[in-house]
Amino acid sequence: MTDPFSLFDEWLAEARTKELNDPEAMALATTNTAGHPSVRMVLLKGHGPAGFVFYTNDDSRKGGELAANPRAALLFHWKSLRRQVRVEGAVERVPDTDADAYFASRARDSQLGAWASDQSRPLDARETFEQRFTEMSARFQGGDVPRPRHWGGYRVVPAQIEFWSDRPHRLHERRLFVRERTKWTEGLLYP
């Protein structure tokens, strides 16, 4: 049986050489308490057998949905390679030490933006956000920008991973890996 994480590593490495923009971009699907779905693009910031990691504002729409229903689906679509990877599973928080380390690696303006933004909340005018950004720049001038308490990381712990490859005449190949406790099984799906 193929290891799904080794296969993902191979596909991502190839995407990094062929995909023009953001090979780490992934669609993140969540649901609210009423079961209504929501999807948006986020960036993969870490991955391995433990799962797929991204970071966001906990007070954002996705943060609220993940707090209410800690399950999610991811989709990587590498159009230039004619491939997709789908991931579904439970979601857990990454340790604060990991979130601190990643936040410290971000560009300073991105750090300041995390403080200035009330992500997903209504904004009366762009100037309001720009003013808040200016205020945060002054607040942290000359020093490090610490990670805000409302900003952290999430890991999607996969229960299943599907690898989709385009084939002529829509005779695509779909390989499905399903986690059964600590082992993975591999099978095929009809296209």
How confident is the model over 89-119, as pLDDT tens digits? 999 999 999 999 999 999 999 999 999 999 9
**CATH number of the domain within which 94 lies:** 2.30.110.10
Q: How far apart are alpha carbons 23 and 17 in whole angstroms?
A: 9
| The token pair that represents 130 in the structure block | 């720009």
Exposed / middle / buried, residue 34 (Cβ in 10 Å: 0-12, 13-18, 19+): exposed
User: In the predicted model, what is the mean pLDDT of residues 125-130?
Assistant: 96
pLDDT of residue 25: 98
pLDDT of residue 179: 96
Say if residue 20's pLDDT is above 90. Answer: no
> Among all residues, which ones are annotated catalytic?
170
Contact by Cβ (8 Å): 42, 56 = yes
**C-alpha R_g of the chain:** 19
For the chain, the domain total comes to 1
pLDDT of residue 58: 95
Nearest to 25 by CA among 67, 70, 71, 85: 85
In the 8-state DSSP scheme, what is residue 129?
H
Rounded to the nearest 10 degrees, the angle between the axes of helix 108-116 and helix 126-139 is 120
Range of the structural domain that residue 68 is part of: 4-189
